[in-house]
């Protein structure tokens, strides 16, 4: 199972999804990073969220179209929601007036289009069904066959294979890629490597199958089998378990806080919490 990010931060605001049971609506919320000014933007449950100027761009699961996502934009105050063209895409990434995405109408091949949905172009024939991101002048993606990590230039040229591992939770920070390698028991082993795939090494064998977030010298991780949230220095030393929360769906580190969205399986709901970087002062923020 591939889990998608459910917490985003833009400026002084936190954006997140709340789930309210199987038969109740989902909500996309916005609030100040101190927990004030909370408001509902839409009853969509967005994925692949991007921020540009006054707009939020995202993909929305459309049950009418089976497993396909439609592309939308909405103003940051919750008004002006509109669908962008007729595209069905995942892993949206905005850069220089273009939306890069995996096209679900063409085998999850990598495409780009203008932010108004025009000028669609095919960049790569590989399927990026399991991961895609734009960093600098490169598009990073996992192939559909083995989830190995690759990169290509923004124009689709210079394809490079970076590893030979079943890769998840890719987090690119500075000159390094931090990621989970999923083993046969669905545990995520924490690895890091240079942007070109060199210096690939394991940092931790404690499960990080649900989230990997990098902040300063620390990597914050969670996994279904780690029974909580832990952090470890980016050289692989200094392991610390900082939270006992066992059902963390998503992590986001901002300033002095670690935000985590926890899933309550009993009533199929989720709650947003935050704690200090060392795990202290854990509190609900809604």
At which residue do the structure tokens 């109408």 appear? Answer: 105
- CA 211 to each of CA 65, 120, 217, 224, 240: distance values in angstroms, whole numbers, following the listed order: 28, 32, 17, 10, 16
Better-scored residue on pLDDT, 34 or 216? 216
Q: What is the mean pLDDT of residues 203-222?
A: 93
Contacts of 66 (CB under 8 A, 6+ apart): none
Query: Could you count the other beta carbons within 10 Å of the beta carbon of residue 216?
Result: 10
Question: Taking residues 199-219, what's their average pLDDT?
Answer: 94
Residue 253 and residue 251: Cα distance in Å, rounded? Answer: 7
More confident residue, 196 or 259: 196
Domains and CATH numbers, the chain: 7-243 (2.120.10.30)
**Could you give the CA distance from residue 187 to residue 211 in angstroms, rounded to a whole number?**
12
Mean pLDDT of 82-109: 93
Interatomic CA distance for residues 115 and 99, integer angstroms: 6
Confidence of residue 3 (pLDDT cuts 50, 70, 90): very low
Distance in angstroms (rounded) separating the CA atoms of residues 206 and 191: 11
Q: Is the pLDDT of residue 22 over 60?
A: no
| Global confidence as pTM | 0.86
Distance, CA of 186 to CA of 34 (rounded, Å): 36
Determine how many CB atoms are found less than 10 A away from the CB of residue 277.
Answer: 16
Lowest mean pLDDT among 17-26, 60-69, 196-205: 17-26
* Mean pLDDT for the stretch of residues 121-131: 95
Distances (CA, A) of 250 to 2, 4, 156, 223: 12, 8, 31, 10
Q: Which of 85, 51, 53 minimizes the C-alpha distance to 69? A: 85
pLDDT over threshold 90, residue 194:
yes
Q: Span 84-101, mean pLDDT?
A: 93
State the average pLDDT over residues 13-18: 86
Q: In this predicted model, what pLDDT tens digit does every residue of 231-245 receive, in sequence order?
A: 999 999 999 999 987
pLDDT digit string, tens, across residues 28-53: 889 888 888 889 999 888 889 999 99
Q: What is the DSSP string of 82-106?
A: EEEEEEEEEEEEEETTEEEEEEGGG
Sequence-distant (6+) residues with CB within 8 A of 138 are 151, 152, 153, 154, 195
- From residue 214, alpha-carbon distances to 56, 94, 184, 208, 240 in Å are 23, 21, 25, 13, 15
Q: Which of left, alpha, beta for 85 (phi over 0: left; psi -120 to 50: alpha)? A: left
Please check the confidence at residue 64 and state whether its pLDDT lies above 60. no
In the prediction, which pLDDT does 245 show? 79
d(CA 229, CA 73): 33
Contact residues for 105 (Cβ-Cβ < 8 A; gap 6+): 68, 87, 88
Structure tokens at 23: 């038969």
């Amino acid at each position: 199972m591939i889990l998608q990010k459910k917490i985003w931060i833009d400026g002084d605001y936190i954006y997140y999804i709340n789930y309210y049971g199987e038969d109740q609506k989902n909500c996309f919320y916005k609030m100040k990073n101190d927990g004030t000014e909370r408001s509902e933007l839409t009853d969509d449950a967005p994925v692949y969220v991007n921020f540009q100027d006054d707009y939020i761009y995202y993909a929305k699961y459309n049950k009418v179209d089976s497993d396909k996502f439609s592309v939308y934009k909405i103003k940051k105050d919750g008004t002006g929601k509109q669908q962008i063209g007729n595209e069905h895409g995942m892993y949206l990434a905005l850069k220089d007036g273009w939306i890069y995405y995996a096209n679900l109408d063409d085998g999850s091949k990598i495409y780009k289009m203008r932010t108004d949905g025009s000028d669609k172009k095919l960049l790569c024939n590989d399927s990026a069904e399991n991961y895609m991101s734009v960093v600098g002048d490169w598009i990073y993606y996992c192939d559909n066959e083995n989830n190995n990590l690759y990169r290509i230039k923004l124009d689709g040229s210079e394809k490079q294979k970076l590893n030979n591992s079943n890769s998840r939770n890719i987090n690119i920070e500075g000159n390094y890629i931090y990621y989970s390698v999923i083993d046969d028991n669905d545990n995520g082993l924490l690895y890091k490597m240079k942007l070109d795939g060199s210096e690939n090494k394991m940092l931790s064998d404690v499960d990080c199958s649900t989230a990997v977030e990098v902040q300063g010298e620390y990597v914050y991780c969670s996994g279904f089998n780690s029974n909580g949230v832990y952090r470890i220095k980016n050289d692989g030393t200094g392991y610390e378990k900082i939270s006992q929360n066992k059902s963390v769906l998503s992590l986001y580190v901002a300033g002095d806080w670690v935000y985590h969205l926890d899933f309550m399986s009993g009533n199929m709901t989720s709650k947003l919490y935050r704690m200090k970087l060392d795990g202290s002062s854990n509190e609900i923020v809604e």
